[in-house]
């Protein structure tokens, strides 16, 4: 494990040592419950949580009071979508989303639809994975209560035109939820400039701990109201009951603070490493196809189809290079990626695709080693592949 190259930073990131350092005291001597208002142990914990709320809000140009702390982006997505649909049931029941959304959004929407509590429109995307804002506008009805659209796709890295959709939502008086778990901390995200009303984020995608996340809920213009999904104590302004994970909140806050100061430089460095990876593989291998938008994408994302091989076979041959074939939430299934299908790839190309996620702690040496090992194994697998032999004969 210690010698393997980790290039799966979209699945999760390692905790930054500076984040861990900030968290450690709250596992030990500062162990108070942030809801205990009668003694210094609780006051200290509450102060730490409020400081973290401020750090999270600052990264997205939000207001600290509008940060609802959760266990991660999946809970945040559920709270946003179910909370809006249930609260506004007397006004409408129509939800608009896209075919390439994370399962935390799509499965939540489909569960509401199956229960008869929502009508769902799932919009297509183009070959590069982007929703057309005009499709969003055309999908609106008088019963639409929510648009839910991710900022950055977790498999192909494509960035949606969120600001354009935000303007459409605002003009229509429809609430706009954005799952920004993959993008916050990697690229700029301003809730006011983008015109969003609810934003999901999670710590473990930006070098913080697992099990800590947040939902930003717009407090005014308009004030967003949600039906809570967990009851018992009325924590988080009544939107999310439960004892707060103080160390996790501190870790998320510290991770956001680091991202705010280092994001621009880090994005440039990570993008250079990603391009080095792409160029290195392209120089040694033919039959590569980039999946996703060539420029409007996360700086660390590289999703490639390798003609003539099975992606699972390539991953099995690379125990020393950690990559994936798609979302960590769907990697156990043998079905082709729904995201790659949505952008028009056939089953063969989908099964031949690998997602590389370059991150903060990768080096040029990591990239060069990955290029060498991936190219070596692709060449070996192609030598055994009848499909590749047929392709070569057809090309000659």
Q: Which of 109, 178, 256, 329 is catalytic?
A: 329
Sheet holding 198-202, edge to edge: 67-70, 213-217, 198-202, 175-179, 144-148, 94-98, 119-123
178 counts as catalytic: no
Q: How far apart are the first and last CA of the chain?
A: 42
Nearest to 350 by CA among 332, 333, 338, 367: 338
What tokens appear for 7 in the block? Answer: 């290039």
The two counts, helices (H) then strands (E), for the chain are 13, 12
**H-type alpha helices, the chain:** 17-23, 40-60, 73-87, 103-114, 133-139, 162-172, 191-194, 246-284, 311-316, 338-342, 347-351, 364-383, 386-395
CA distances from 174 to 161, 280, 382 (A): 17, 46, 51
- Taking alpha carbons only, the member of 330, 332, 283, 249 closest to residue 10 is 330
Tell me which residues are annotated as active site: 329
């Amino acid at each position: 494990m210690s010698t393997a190259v980790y290039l799966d930073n979209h699945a999760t990131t390692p905790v930054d040592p500076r984040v861990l350092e900030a968290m450690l005291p709250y596992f030990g001597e500062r162990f108070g419950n942030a809801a205990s208002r009668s003694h210094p142990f609780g006051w200290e914990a509450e102060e730490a949580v409020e400081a973290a709320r401020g750090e999270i809000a600052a990264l997205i140009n939000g207001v600290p009071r509008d940060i609802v702390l959760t266990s991660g982006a999946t809970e945040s997505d559920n709270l946003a979508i179910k909370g809006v649909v249930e609260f506004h049931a007397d006004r409408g029941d129509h939800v608009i989303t896209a075919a390439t959304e994370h399962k935390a959004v799509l499965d939540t929407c489909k569960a509401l639809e199956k229960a008869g509590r929502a009508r769902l429109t799932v919009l297509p995307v183009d070959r590069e994975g982007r929703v057309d804002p005009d499709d969003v506008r055309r999908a609106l009805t008088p019963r639409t209560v929510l648009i839910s659209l991710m900022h950055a796709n977790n498999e192909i890295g494509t960035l949606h035109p969120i600001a354009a959709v935000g303007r459409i939502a605002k003009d229509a008086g429809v609430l706009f939820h954005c799952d920004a778990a993959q993008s916050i901390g990697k690229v700029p995200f301003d809730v006011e400039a983008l015109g969003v009303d609810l934003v999901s984020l999670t710590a473990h995608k930006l070098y913080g701990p697992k099990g800590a996340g947040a939902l930003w809920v717009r407090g005014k213009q308009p004030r967003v109201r949600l039906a809570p999904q967990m009851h018992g104590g009325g924590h988080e302004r009544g939107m999310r009951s439960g004892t707060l994970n103080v160390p996790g909140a501190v870790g998320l806050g510290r991770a956001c603070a680091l991202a705010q100061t280092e994001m621009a430089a880090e994005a440039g460095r990570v993008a250079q490493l990603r391009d080095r990876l792409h160029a290195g593989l392209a120089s040694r291998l033919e039959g590569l196809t980039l999946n996703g938008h060539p420029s409007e994408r996360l700086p660390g994302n590289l999703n490639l189809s390798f003609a003539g091989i099975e992606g699972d076979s390539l991953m099995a041959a690379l125990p020393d290079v950690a990559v994936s074939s798609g979302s960590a939430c769907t990697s156990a299934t043998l079905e082709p990626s729904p995201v790659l299908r949505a952008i028009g790839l056939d089953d063969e190309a989908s099964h031949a695709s690998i997602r590389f996620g370059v991150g903060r702690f990768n080096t040029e040496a990591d990239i060069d080693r990955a290029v060498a090992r991936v190219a070596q194994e692709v060449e070996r697998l192609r030598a055994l592949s009848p499909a590749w032999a047929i392709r070569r004969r057809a090309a000659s």
